[in-house]
Amino acid sequence: MTLAAASGDAAKVFLEIGALALVLAILARVAGRFGFTAIPLYLLAGLAVGEGGVFPLDLSHQFIEVVAEIGVLLLLLALGLEYSAVELRHGLRTGAATGVFDAAVDFLPGFAAGLVLGWSTPAAVLLGGVTWVTSSGIASKVLTDLDRLANRETPVILNLLVFEDLAMAVFLPVASALVIGRGLDATAATIAVALATLVLIMVLALRFGARLSAFLNRGSDESLLLAVFGLTLVVGGLAQEVEVSAAIGAFFVGLALSGPVQQRAGALVGPLRDLFAAVFFVFFSFQIDPATLLHVLAPAVALAAVGIATKMATGWFAGRRAGIGSSGRRRAGATLAARGEFSIVIASLGVGLRDGRDLGAVAAAFVLLTALAGPIAARFADRERSRSDSRDPTEAVMGS
């Protein structure tokens, strides 16, 4: 390629990415004007400019994908910065029953739907995983955008996200074994390595976080931002290497930081998180061809309705166990409703199955519908709280 050609390609990429960023800025302003998260608008924008969209862009998929994945890590890093080690320990000790309830209630609809559609057992198991796992990226963005990080239900939501990521360390190897017929010994070894890595990351974060925080706090804002960003990518990458969610690694990096450095890092990471996260949501729907969704729209809509209802039930169950009022339980369930990045990963495991194409289409439509409806439901749940506040002041205090 000649220098002139390379320069022309770069100019085209700059123009497309710059124009997209300006459109996202307008969408973010519109969302802010009406008081809801911009996620649904970002998803629709990605659908419009992606494969088969109205205004398809010839962007570098690899570049955008890497930026999008970093966006997820920064979302979970920022969430970890808002969460304390004491809260995590308490949540893991007391939230096991909620995690089991979440797995049972949210896995079964997808598994049953797969069997009803006549799919093989491995494909049905994968669809069950698709309907089970909440999108950590979308949930964390909703909590930030709607200013709910200090709400009483937020630790309950975070506990469930951590439990689901821990459960994925077991589910993904088992699902892979079902799909490819891997032996029991190899599957058990993969699970053991994944769980050992998770425990190691958790112990390091909880035991040595104070020393790390004191060391990082001595540097300038520039060095702190680079150090936290680098640590997030390194820990996330190591976790991903052993088939553990990179997002949970990023969460524990945020959790490890405490004291003054926690506040400094949060302020520095915030703008970077917003930029990369916007790219993540656009890329998420950018990959979906609207034409592939039409023939599976009916089952996907039905499954999305059931899936949102089961997550509402999970949020209600978890909130009640934590002594949270009904409005807080509604907000918890609505925040958990969106499925996302993990669900797509799970569906991709079934590409080689006889029902793999249908599984991918249903999963994509289901994820897109819940990712659109979840943030809107979360905003509506807050409106429901306002109505109940005017009727019952006692309930308002319990739910906040």
The string of pLDDT tens digits covering residues 164-178 is 877 876 787 778 777
pTM above 0.75, yes or no: no
- Burial class of residue 181 in the structure, from the number of CB atoms within 10 Å of its CB (0-12 exposed, 13-18 middle, 19+ buried): exposed
- What is the tally of structural domains in the chain? 1
- The rounded percent of the chain whose pLDDT value lies above 90 is 26
Q: How far apart are CA 113 and CA 106, in angstroms?
A: 12
User: Mean per-residue pLDDT for 151-176?
Assistant: 82
| Amino acid code (one letter) for 323 | G
Q: What is the pLDDT of residue 186?
A: 67
Phi, psi (degrees; rounded to nearest 5) at 75: -60, -45
CB-facing half-sphere around the CA of 221: CA atoms within 13 A: 6
Residue 2 counted as domain residue: no
Residue 337 reports pLDDT greater than 50: yes
Domain of residue 155: give its range: 8-399
Kindly report the CATH number assigned to the domain that includes residue 229: 1.20.1530.20
Does residue 364 form part of some domain?
Answer: yes
Instruction: Judge whether 296 lies within some domain.
Output: yes
- Over range 318-333, report the average pLDDT: 92
Kindly state the average pLDDT of the residues 323-344.
Answer: 90
pLDDT at residue number 106: 96
Per-residue model confidence (pLDDT) at position 132? 95
Identify the pLDDT of residue 135.
87
3 part of a folded domain: no
Cα–Cα separations (whole angstroms), residue 186 to 176, 180, 183, 192: 11, 12, 6, 10
The pLDDT assigned to 209 comes to 84
pLDDT-derived band at 184 (thresholds 50, 70, 90) equals: low
Question: Higher model confidence: residue 338 or residue 208?
Answer: 338
Q: Does the pLDDT value for residue 1 go beyond 60? A: no
Asked, for residue 1, whether it belongs to a domain, the answer is no
